[in-house]
Amino acid sequence: MHAEAIRRIGVVGAGLMGHAIALEFAVAGYEVGLHDCTQQRLEQALQTIEADLKLLLRLGLVQPEQAQAAPGRIAASIHLPEIAEEADVVIEAVPEELALKQRVFAELSPLCPERTLLASNTSSFMPSALFATTGRPDKVLVAHYFNPPYLLPGVELVRSEQTSEETLTTMFDLLTRVGRRPILLHKEVPGFVANRLQAALLREALFLVQQGVVDARDLDTMVKNGFGRRLAVAGPFEVLDNSGLDVWLAIASQLFPTLEGSREALAWLEAKVASKELGVKTGKGAYKWPPEAAEALKERLGRGLAAIEQLA
């Protein structure tokens, strides 16, 4: 199958990522089937899609006619066969539990037409672990989006040894058609590329706060007003070349031996989770998050990411 032949997209899992992936394809003109296990979750997803469209309108990222038409292209159902039976591509976006994802793929394989490509939005599980339960390993891959998907265009495409070149090319072309900027990983690695980079930064940030070197607010201030701005418009290797590899060799020789190298989650993070201080979702994490502050953060992220998109 070629990308231009794709007409209908299925999304399994209507939560944080799934509803936004459905929104992306509906805005681009595709018919979308959205599945979750309860009607309540689907209704909440459709309400969130309406709110996301209003944000995208305010940011100038969709036209009024797109925002008006998109919800009508999304058919929500608690019945998986209704989503799968005519889909050209199905993207799984259920919670990050290996057994659950494996079960979803096992159920999808006999329900979908032979032509259907199956993708997982997993952020950590390797394709070979996920797709052993399918009868079509050549048509399966990882398509890892980033949150929020409608504002971050990057997608990591990860193949298993069985994924065909046609599947990889079709998914790459499909995502490019809807405004994504996918990359191809040449081999499997836990966490893929982006989450490994994020985890390395997070580990050092947690270490510095835990050791009392700096508090969380000041650390965030420095990232936002220092090197973080640079990374929004230039990747690490562009930064290396711009500064000079000789300069970074001198820095690395002195600094790398002192960096945090723990192989376990740090105590600061464990203590927060044990106290149910999970961030925005519980109203408190590194910061306090009353509803108005949480909404302001979402708006700030949206406006900032929209402005960066104009520089891309």
Q: Are 176 and 182 in contact (CB under 8 A)?
A: yes
Confidence class for position 312, pLDDT limits 50, 70, 90 = low
Strands of the sheet containing 31-35, edge to edge, are 74-77, 31-35, 8-12, 89-92, 117-120, 140-144, 154-158, 181-185
* Each residue's pLDDT tens digit, 44-88: 999 999 999 999 998 888 999 999 999 999 999 999 999 999 999
CA 203, 207, 210, 214 dihedral sign is negative
> Torsion over CA of 194, 1, 88 and 131, rounded to 10 degrees?
-50
Tell if the pTM clears 0.85, that is, is over it: yes
Q: What was the pLDDT predicted at 136?
A: 87
Q: How do beta strands 181-185 and 74-77 pair?
A: unpaired
* Each residue's pLDDT tens digit, 279-311: 999 999 999 999 999 999 988 988 888 888 877
**What does the alpha-carbon distance between residue 213 and residue 255 come to, in Å, rounded to a whole number?**
16
Q: Are 279 and 286 in contact (CB under 8 A)?
A: yes
